[in-house]
């Protein structure tokens, strides 16, 4: 975890939301290779909530995800991170325009490339099961 910020400990969901908007939605975020990554305010709800029933309905705020919020920027800027092609569950294939970054053993950040200079943030999470981590690591490596 060298070079990664400490876990972010804030008193409430509202404080995490305000931090997300101030850190990610108001100023540009750059990747190690110069992409500008755009974040939207509603990305907070997708990224920092989890599905209690594992049915894709995100119904519970996740402190574990929110505490790692500052790792998103660090992961995107890390030239030594592992990068993989993202899986599209709808088309059931890997996509070159989805970049999955893996850092700190099991922390995942996903972006979608718009063009050669811009990307959009999709999500970030801890790969919390051995099977999900193994699936990710067996994905094709992302190459520019």
Residues 105 and 74: their CA atoms lie apart, in Å, by 14
pLDDT of the chain, 144 residues: tens digit per residue: 567 999 999 999 999 999 999 999 999 899 999 999 999 999 999 999 988 877 777 879 999 999 999 999 999 999 999 999 999 888 999 999 999 999 999 999 999 999 999 999 999 999 988 998 999 999 999 988
Residue 81 region by backbone torsions, left for phi larger than 0, else alpha for psi between -120 and 50, else beta: beta
Sign of CA dihedral 78, 30, 87, 13: positive
pLDDT of residue 1: 56
- Cβ proximity of 59 and 67 under 8 Å: no
DSSP secondary structure string for all residues of 17-71: HHHHIIIIISS-EE-TTSPEEE--TTHHHHHSEE-TTSSS---EE-HHHHTTHHH
Domain map (residue ranges) of the chain: 13-137
């Amino acid at each position: 975890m060298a070079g990664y910020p400490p876990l972010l400990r804030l008193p409430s969901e509202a404080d995490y939301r305000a931090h997300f908007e101030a850190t990610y939605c108001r100023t540009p975020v750059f990747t190690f290779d110069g992409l500008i990554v755009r974040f939207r305010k509603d990305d907070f709800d997708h990224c920092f909530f989890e599905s209690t029933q594992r049915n894709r309905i995100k119904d519970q705020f996740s402190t574990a995800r929110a505490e790692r919020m500052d790792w998103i920027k660090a992961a995107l800027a890390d030239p030594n991170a592992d990068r993989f092609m993202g899986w599209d569950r709808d088309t059931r294939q890997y996509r070159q325009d989805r970049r999955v970054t893996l850092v700190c053993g099991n922390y995942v950040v996903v972006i979608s490339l718009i063009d050669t200079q811009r990307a959009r943030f999709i999500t970030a999470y801890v790969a919390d099961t051995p099977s999900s981590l193994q699936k990710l690591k067996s994905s094709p490596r992302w190459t520019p």
